[in-house]
Amino acid sequence: MGTCCPNYNGQVCGGPTRGVCGDITQSNNVCDVGLNAVQQGVNGAWWLTERFTNVCLCNGNYWGADCSQCRAGWTGPTCSTPSTVKVRQAFNLLSPADQNNVINTFIKAKTVKYPGSTISWFDWFAGLHSFAGGSYSWNHAYIMPNSPPNYAHSQWDANGDVYWGAGFLSWHRHLLIQFEQMMAMVSGNSSFALPYWDWSKTAMLSNPNLDYTLQAFGGNGRSSNMNDPCLQQSSGANCGCPLKTPPFNASDGFYQIEANLLSDGVPIRRAFGGTCFGGMSLPTPQQVNQVNNMYYFYPNVYDSGYSVELEFNLHGTVHDWIGGSMMMLEWSASDPIFWLHHAFVDLNFEKWLRWTTPAVPGYNVAPTSGAPVGHNLHDCLGPFFPLTDHKPYFQPSYKVGYTYDVLPAPPGTASVHKAHLEGLGAGVGVGASIGGKYSEHVGIHNVCQEPLRELHCFDLYQNFDEQDVDCGGKDCTPC
């Protein structure tokens, strides 16, 4: 087994102030549980210890494979200055130009390759989400009457620690931040903010299928004939019809991505209205408020817990209402609407956090022990690298670099009140391809961020010897 502890400013991991080269198979200053304590992932191996035993473990707000960067929300030479706060906005309230630019950025992310691979950035994130699905099944009582079962989205749980537990919200918060940063890089605009889709307002429409955001993101599947085989409940995971028109249909190259990062050859599918379950409704604002007014985060003797209710009765219902690719965890992140859906889930999580004023440890955060491995507060979030635990994501979102348009402005921070997307892909219509030469390495400084195949140090080092798997400076020449 090798190490991946690069030099920064002439010192391993940037020196002891920034971080140390630590053994990730043991408890460490980032995660309480050593990564080899969880036998998950490819062939039963954990996502990182399959290749490395030692990586840089960064202190405080330092971040990156060599601790040369700052965590989201921080900047400055010592990563102690709050960064400018992005504002995530409702997609339907963006200007037409901004809406086009958001959609074009999704399409561009589908074509721009992850450095050193043939996989696009979008597919890499879709595959990461697929790979990370959890294997735990919980049977907590629900507080909301007549809740749809939304079991299909949760049945495919094979490898990880993402669903069915206390880490669901904080894991996805980290995922959205990483995805948003990727989209900013791809767009060439550091101020890019991921929009959200308020599906509780869609629920109040006379015909939710015609919701503006849904139509802008490709609409329903191709068939209006309920006898079409792609709408039959008996089709199970294959229920749902391919998108008929751009954006995000086969003509734009959007197919379901598997955990191995490869397409399964099936276009993005949808079946609005919970057709694959015999019909259901989207959660209403009243139901959202009911969940957001819960007091405890985690299931206990008093109630079933906010995390469970938001995951199953709100989030899960929306996945199943859209149907098709979205109703199965294995493929859900392949559908671009996934990202706007989860941004709204995160917005509700943020409202709840601000109301409950997080305390660590406390009733309004993930437990420090007792949850499935990977879901406890100080467990590592897999399969992400650099390593982080859940704790940073149980504080107001402006502490990690973003907020939402419907929330009060962060106290004492500079705030971007608009996504500032004008000019990105100017003159390019929705669903069109984006031309022009793009440098894949712009804004990229992560190394070893490859949980689904061999880890590399190509971003920082040109002469990395993969046979020795040694990134301690001996065999590496800085780029």
Grouping H, G, I as helix, E, B as strand and the rest as coil, residue 200 is helix
Q: Of residues 352 and 462, which shows the higher confidence score? A: 352
For the chain, give the number of residues.
479
Burial class (CB in 10 A: 0-12, 13-18, 19+), 80: exposed
The pLDDT confidence band at residue 37, using thresholds 50, 70 and 90, is low
Q: How far is it, in rounded angstroms, from Cα 266 to Cα 270?
A: 12
CB-based contacts of 422: which residues, under 8 Å, 6+ apart? 95, 97, 98, 101
Q: In which order are the strands placed within the sheet that holds 19-23? A: 2-4, 52-58, 19-23
Average pLDDT estimate for 233-260: 90
E strand or H helix at 51? none
Give the CATH number, domain containing residue 320.
1.10.1280.10
Residue 445 lies in a domain: no
Compute the mean pLDDT over every residue in the chain, rounded to the nearest whole number. Answer: 79
pLDDT digits (tens, 9 = 90+) for 19-33: 999 999 888 889 887
Res 86 pLDDT > 70: yes
Average pLDDT estimate for 269-275: 94
pLDDT digits (tens, 9 = 90+) for 96-118: 999 999 999 999 999 999 988 89
Res 93 pLDDT > 70: yes
pLDDT digits (tens, 9 = 90+) for 226-243: 678 888 877 778 899 999
The pLDDT confidence band at residue 62, using thresholds 50, 70 and 90, is very high
Residue 108 lies in a domain: yes
Residue 11 lies in a domain: no
Residue 384 lies in a domain: no
Q: Is the pTM of this model over 0.75?
A: yes
Average pLDDT estimate for 58-62: 95
Residue 438 lies in a domain: no
The pLDDT confidence band at residue 310, using thresholds 50, 70 and 90, is very high
Single out the residue of 345, 271, 273, 285 nearest to residue 315, CA to CA: 345
Q: How far is it, in rounded angstroms, from Cα 396 to Cα 376?
A: 19
Residue 232 lies in a domain: yes
E strand or H helix at 216? helix 212-216
Single out the residue of 268, 424, 429, 252 nearest to residue 338, CA to CA: 268
Q: Of residues 366 and 148, which shows the higher confidence score? A: 366
Number of independent structural domains in the chain: 1
- Which structural domain range is residue 313 located in? 69-358+395-404
Average pLDDT estimate for 298-327: 89
Q: How far is it, in rounded angstroms, from Cα 120 to Cα 336?
A: 14
Q: How far is it, in rounded angstroms, from Cα 417 to Cα 422?
A: 14
Average pLDDT estimate for 442-455: 31
Q: How far is it, in rounded angstroms, from Cα 214 to Cα 194?
A: 16
In our burial notation (b when 16+ CB lie closer than 10 A, e otherwise), range 207-227 reads ebeebebbebbbbbbbbeeee
Residue 439 lies in a domain: no
Tokens of 374: 């990977």
Residue 465 lies in a domain: no
